Structure 1
Amino acid sequence: MITGLGGPPRGPEFVSAGLSHDTPPVHGESATVPPTRTSRRWPLLAAAGLAIAGISAGTGGAAGYLAGRPTTATAPPPGTDGDLMAAAARTIPGVVSVRARTGGGSGFVFDDRGHVITNNHVVSGAGGTVGVVGSDGRRLTAEVVGTDPATDIAVLRISPGATLPPLRLAEPGTTRVGEPVLAVGSPLGLSGTVTAGIVSALDRQVRLGATTRQRAVQTDASINPGNSGGPLVNARGEVVGVNTAIATLEGGGSIGIGFAVPIDEARRVAAGIIGRG
């Protein structure tokens, strides 16, 4: 089953896109029926709640922003493919822990203006501000710029003077099945945690709750409560997705099936939120 990661906040349940609620999952997709339910759903654990890739919002006015401010991938230096230690070293300084009244999660710096991407379910109901903690232990206050529940993406803003480095974003179409990736975040409040895996599948069609089918990056990198909103990065330290949910057997815990919002969708949605101000 698939459930949101950990305690509140929780997101909608995940349902495999090709299955009806009463049809057993295909071979290899484990499912357990919760005692209080009669339909076969996979409880989905969100990295601090739950999420999904999806339809971009607010694309009007975003094109100009995409052409300028957000940090995008540049040609990686030679010899860095496969160097996960170097990728971790480049990524950790730009990752933050997000502390909200309703729960916690992770996020990463999106641009040089202090914008941070996280999950909507991490900050939902938190009000206009949340706390963030940098990898160096600094505690900062972040403004919630806007959220997009359809894609479970939210944007925060910290002071550009905080000097947290923005992460590089992978170019669309460059992520490959089988390439090594790292999930970086604060599972169970353990900031700066790095776990390794591979890209298990691209364009995985999933449905969360009553939403339409959405594209997701599937990975076997360990994702747990508190990872929600953190980056999934490749061996060059480029963000390929926003960690959002995992499949789990009844009783919880990662079983090596995690999902991330593809970075091209997350970037488009974030740019729209920022464009609206």
Structure 2
Amino acid sequence: MPKTTHERVKRKVPHMLQTCRSIMFFGLLPCSRRKALLMANKGWNSDEARSSLSTTVPKLTAALSFLLLAACSSQQASLEDRVINVESDAIPTSASPAPDMSGLLRQTSPSYVTITIAEARRQGRPGEGDAGQAVTSGSGFIVDDSGHVLTAGHVAVKNGYSVTARGADGRLYSGRVVAIRPNNDMALIALKGLNGKPVEPASSPCMPRGASVFSLGKPHAQGDTARLGQVESMSFGRAVSYNGFGYPDAMVLRMNTKKGESGGPVFNGSGQLTGMVVSTLSDGNGRPLNLAHAVPSSSLADFLCSQVSCSARWQSLAGQSTQSCRANSS
């Protein structure tokens, strides 16, 4: 049975009183920009769109589901302490003990943001600001001091789309999708005046099987969650594609991710970034396998440094490959 605890992070965020939810896949939600902004104010996500792919694995047929969300909401807002639920299906071992989540959340949660994506407003259309209809929402994480955020490509949807993000301080920040790499399901967002703490990437993308990891995300619109798990493998061993997005390979995590956690950061036991959640695995009947896919940090670094000026640590990571992880473990 999953273990659930709560860590209260000293941060004020608005509380949603009314919500309207709509299941759509890359469609436009019938919500005004005001509703989209209020949704991001809470970081609210609705039931997400799903796309399944039957993939053959040894003795098992798997389906990959998007962890994508689309939602709208309207409410009056009040302030409350933000609570991050800690959930785990992983069994601690002597080689990989359960991490101290209280300290790790204080270290990593300021880098985690909730984002709302909207179509760009057409020229000449009267209205509020630059954003049009809300399209999707999801998670992301700050990667530098210049307001850049990484998220999943299928969450960002399209280059040039408008973004509203709720930062660690509870404030809303506006920006745009500035780059997408569809064949590795990654997107870069630029936010104006973002006040937050960038993630610290691990010096190497390699992690041994059984190593402890945790992600930050928002499953089923039920609140921010730190999900504990373990590394199953540094390689899935084949390419995956879905509706214009995909990846050539991925980390396999023993982690019971839920719909709504795409774009969320994956950290190691030291609170350093090691990947980004992109999909969850289920069998041919839709039953969860307690396995998830994550884009490794080296791929994230390569994408980031190809788009903006990045730090020496990111540059060093961009020059590495998870193929060396497999070679060293064999």
TM-score, normalised by the number of residues in structure 1 = 0.70
Q: How big is the shift at 1:221?
A: 2.0
Taking the aligned partners of 1:136 and 1:225, their CA distance within structure 2 comes to 25
| 1:271 matched to 2:289 | no
Paired position in structure 1 for 2:185: 152
Give the match for residue 278 of structure 2.
Answer: 244
Matches within 5 A, 1:163-242: 163-209=195-241, 214-242=248-276
Q: Residue 85 of structure 1: SS of its match in structure 2?
A: helix
Superposed CA deviations along residues 237-263 of structure 1, whole A, max 9, x for unmatched, are 111111000112456564311000001
Q: Specify which of 61, 84, 98 is matched with residue 101 of structure 2.
A: 84
The residue type paired with residue 84 of structure 1 is: M
Number of residue pairs the alignment of both structures matches:
220
Q: Percent identity?
A: 23
- Higher relative strand content: 2
Larger RCO (CA within 8 A; separation ≥ 6):
1
User: Is this contact kept in 2: 1:84–1:182, CA < 8 A?
Assistant: no
Tell me the equivalent position of 1:65.
none
Question: Which amino acid is 2:109 matched to?
Answer: I
Corresponding residue number in structure 2 for 1:262:
296
Contact 1:15–1:207 (CA<8 Å) still a contact in 2? no
Q: How far, CA to CA, are the matches of 2:155 and 2:252 in structure 1? A: 20
CA contact (8 A) 1:246 1:259 kept: yes
Q: Highest Rg: 1 or 2?
A: 2
Match of 1:94 among 101, 111, 117: 111
* Secondary structure in 1 matching 2:300: helix
Q: Helix, strand or coil for the counterpart of 1:169?
A: coil
Question: Shift of the alpha carbon at 1:207?
Answer: 2.2
Q: What secondary structure sits across from 2:235 in the alignment? A: strand
Structure 1 residue 48: Cα displacement = 1.1
> 8 Å contact 1:105–1:225 — kept in the other structure?
no
What SS is found at the alignment partner of 1:184?
strand
Q: Secondary structure at the match of 2:105?
A: helix
Map of 1:48 onto structure 2 = 68
Aligned to 1:69: none
**Residue number in structure 2 paired with 1:113:** 146
CA distance in 2, matches of 1:164, 1:15: 39
The aligned residue for residue 142 of structure 1 is 175
Secondary structure of 2:108 counterpart:
helix
Question: RMSD of the TM alignment (CA)?
Answer: 2.8
Q: Distance in 2 between matches of 1:240 and 1:134?
A: 21
CA contact (8 A) 1:232 1:243 kept: yes
Check whether the contact 1:11–1:121 (CA below 8 A) recurs between aligned residues.
no
CA positional deviation for 1:26: 2.1
Letter of the 1:99 counterpart: T
Q: How big is each residue's C-alpha offset from its partner over 1:26-84, in whole Å with a ceiling of 9 and x where there is no partner?
A: 22x3x3xxxxxxxxxx43112217xxxxxxxxxxxxxxxxxxxxxxxxxxxxxx99333
Which residue of 1 is the match for residue 4 of structure 2? none
Unmatched 5+ stretches in structure 1: 1-5, 20-24, 32-41, 50-79
Do the aligned residues in 1 keep the contact of 2:183 with 2:248 (CA within 8 Å)?
Answer: no
Deviation at 1:222, TM superposition (A): 2.4
Q: In the alignment, is the contact (CA less than 8 A) between 1:96 and 1:185 conserved in 2? A: no
Structure 2: which amino acid aligns with 1:164? Answer: G
Please tell me whether the aligned partners of residues 48 and 104 of structure 1 are also in contact (alpha carbons under 8 angstroms): yes
Secondary structure at the residue paired with 2:163?
strand
Task: Report the 3-state secondary structure (helix = DSSP H, G, I; strand = E; otherwise coil) of the residue aligned with 2:234.
Answer: strand
What SS does the aligned partner of 2:303 have? helix
Pair 1:7–1:206, CA change in 2 (3 A): farther
In structure 2, relative to structure 1, the CA distance for the partners of 1:253 and 1:274 (3 Å cut) is farther
Task: Tell me the CA shift for residue 149 of structure 1.
Answer: 0.5
Structure 2: 5+ residue stretches without partners: 1-22, 27-48, 70-96, 118-133, 310-330
Return the offset for 1:191.
Answer: 4.6
